[in-house]
Amino acid sequence: MKNLSLILNVVLLVAVAVLYVLHFSNKSDVESTGSEADSTSISDLKIAFIHSDTVLKYYDYLKVNREQLEAKTKKMDEDLQRRTEGLRSEIAAYQRNVSTMTLGQVRAVEEDLGKKQQNLQMYQQRLQQELLQEEANLNKELYERVTGFLKKYGQEKGLQVVLKYDPSSDVLYGVDALDITQDVIKGLNEAYTAEKAASKSDAATKGK
């Protein structure tokens, strides 16, 4: 449960949202000219890129949800630690008193402690599965939000391709004019702010 930041950073497939909105010429026009394959050639391709690490760092939606998930992880860890310490105390007490116990008592206590240990392990597994599922849900939601925004943004700006630019990507160089990182961060945060405002308004209306 300590690998939250790693998982969330790896998650950002964010911007491998590719907007292949290539508009092909009318077939009849192509046939009439006999020289055009489609209306978008390589030279006409409009490409942009984003620094995915920067988007991750400044996207408010991710900040809020990551903090909530980390707080829940911490609470789970603390609860698990309390249960573990409680079981250890029982085991230590058994070890101190075992010499004074009858064979029947020893068997009963050992059986009880064995069941408690199994229950603790099962509880830990449930917590881990729950956390992993929440992480997966957050990652999926993050991907959908960012790619959804990029699709709309790309259509508005006439982009065909948006690339992810970070040390792990295949993009080795890009001129500043192709960098839309700040526009994307601004647009994502504005959309998230509007979404929160709408949610508060709906909640207030329902509460009346």
DSSP for 136-163 reads HHHHHHHHHHHHHHHHHHHHHHT-SEEE
CATH number at residue 60: 3.30.910.20
Between 60-97 and 181-207, two packed helices, what is the crossing angle to 10 degrees?
70
In the predicted structure, residue 29 carries a pLDDT above the cut 50: no
> Pick from 152, 160, 138: which is nearest to 59 by CA?
138
Query: If residue 128 lies in a helix (H) or strand (E), which one and from where to where?
Result: helix 103-157
pLDDT of the residue at 171 = 86
Residue 23: pLDDT band by 50, 70, 90 thresholds? Answer: very low
Name the CA dihedral angle for 64, 67, 68, 70, rounded to a multiple of 10 degrees.
160
Average pLDDT over residues 78-95: 96
Residue 21: pLDDT band by 50, 70, 90 thresholds? Answer: very low
In 3-state terms, what secondary structure has residue 23? coil
State how far the Cα of 30 lies from the Cα of 35, in Å rounded to an integer. 7
pLDDT of the residue at 19 = 31
Expressed as residue numbers, the domain containing 29 is: 4-207
**Whole-model pTM?**
0.69
In the predicted structure, residue 27 carries a pLDDT above the cut 70: no
Q: What is the domain count for the chain?
A: 1
Query: If residue 164 lies in a helix (H) or strand (E), which one and from where to where?
Result: strand 161-164
State how far the Cα of 173 lies from the Cα of 96, in Å rounded to an integer. 68
State how far the Cα of 1 lies from the Cα of 198, in Å rounded to an integer. 33
In the predicted structure, residue 110 carries a pLDDT above the cut 60: yes
In the predicted structure, residue 130 carries a pLDDT above the cut 90: yes
Cβ neighbors of 190 (< 8 A, separation 6 or more) are none
**pLDDT tens digit string along 36-55?**
434 445 557 799 999 999 99
- More confident site: 15 or 153: 153
Residue 7: pLDDT band by 50, 70, 90 thresholds? Answer: very low
Average pLDDT over residues 181-200: 94
Cβ neighbors of 133 (< 8 A, separation 6 or more) are none
Name the CA dihedral angle for 163, 168, 170, 174, rounded to a multiple of 10 degrees.
60
